[in-house]
């Protein structure tokens, strides 16, 4: 069963996992796999303004390569991507022993109940519907960051 995060926010669904809110952003890196330049820039601006380092990737193949090379703390991934779709990317990442525990959040225009369940079943750890709400986006994303060890 999917539960919303942050109260009444229907734009975010989270699998049955808990990633506590962070009080420090120092050194935290977030990979953004997004083919829309406007969305990529918006996510980057919002996350960097909050003190997070971002790593951009314009398609699924670039995202998979960047994840393997950079080993980010969290991944934001669009579902409809050129060269390799988001569900395929998530499948590869979740089967990689080094990256399998990295939270992966779908940010997508797919917004029906069936889509949410399909994405969580595919391996995404959470879901945010597009268009995003800029005022709450960073808080939604960083709530998925694992605790600093």
Percent of the chain at pLDDT exceeding 90: 72
H or E stretch covering 131: none
Examine residue 7 and state whether it is found in any structural domain, yes or no. no
Nearest to 91 by CA among 117, 64, 68: 64
Say if 20 falls within a structural domain. no
Average pLDDT over every residue of 94-103: 97
Q: Give the pLDDT of residue 15.
A: 45
**Is pLDDT at 16 greater than 50 in this prediction?**
no
Q: What is the pLDDT of residue 26?
A: 64
Which tens digits make up the pLDDT trace of 104-113? Answer: 999 998 777 7
Tell me how many domains the chain contains: 1
Task: Give yes or no for residue 66 having a pLDDT over 70.
Answer: yes
Which residue matches tokens 């962070």? 22
Structural domain contains residue 16:
no
Q: What is the dihedral of CA 22, 49, 52, 4, to 10 degrees?
A: 50
Q: What is the mean pLDDT of residues 93-103?
A: 97
**Alpha carbon 96 to its chain's center:** 17
For residue 59, the enclosing domain spans 25-142
Q: Supply the CATH number for residue 44's domain.
A: 3.40.50.2300
Model pLDDT for residues 20-51, shown as the tens digit of each residue: 343 445 689 999 999 999 999 999 999 999 99
């Amino acid at each position: 069963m999917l539960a919303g995060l942050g109260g009444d926010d229907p734009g975010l669904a989270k699998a049955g996992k808990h990633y506590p809110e962070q009080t420090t952003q120092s050194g935290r890196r977030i990979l953004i796999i997004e083919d829309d330049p406007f969305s990529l820039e918006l996510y980057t601006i919002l996350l960097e303004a909050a003190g997070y380092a971002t790593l951009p990737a314009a398609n699924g193949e670039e995202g998979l390569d960047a994840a393997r090379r950079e080993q980010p703390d969290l991944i934001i991934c669009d579902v409809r991507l050129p060269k390799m779709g988001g569900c395929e990317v998530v499948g590869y990442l979740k089967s990689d022993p080094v990256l399998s525990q990295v939270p992966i959040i779908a940010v997508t225009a797919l917004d029906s109940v069936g889509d949410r369940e399909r994405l969580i079943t595919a391996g995404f750890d959470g879901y945010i519907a597009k268009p995003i709400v800029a005022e709450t986006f960073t808080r939604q994303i960083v709530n998925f960051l694992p605790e600093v060890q």
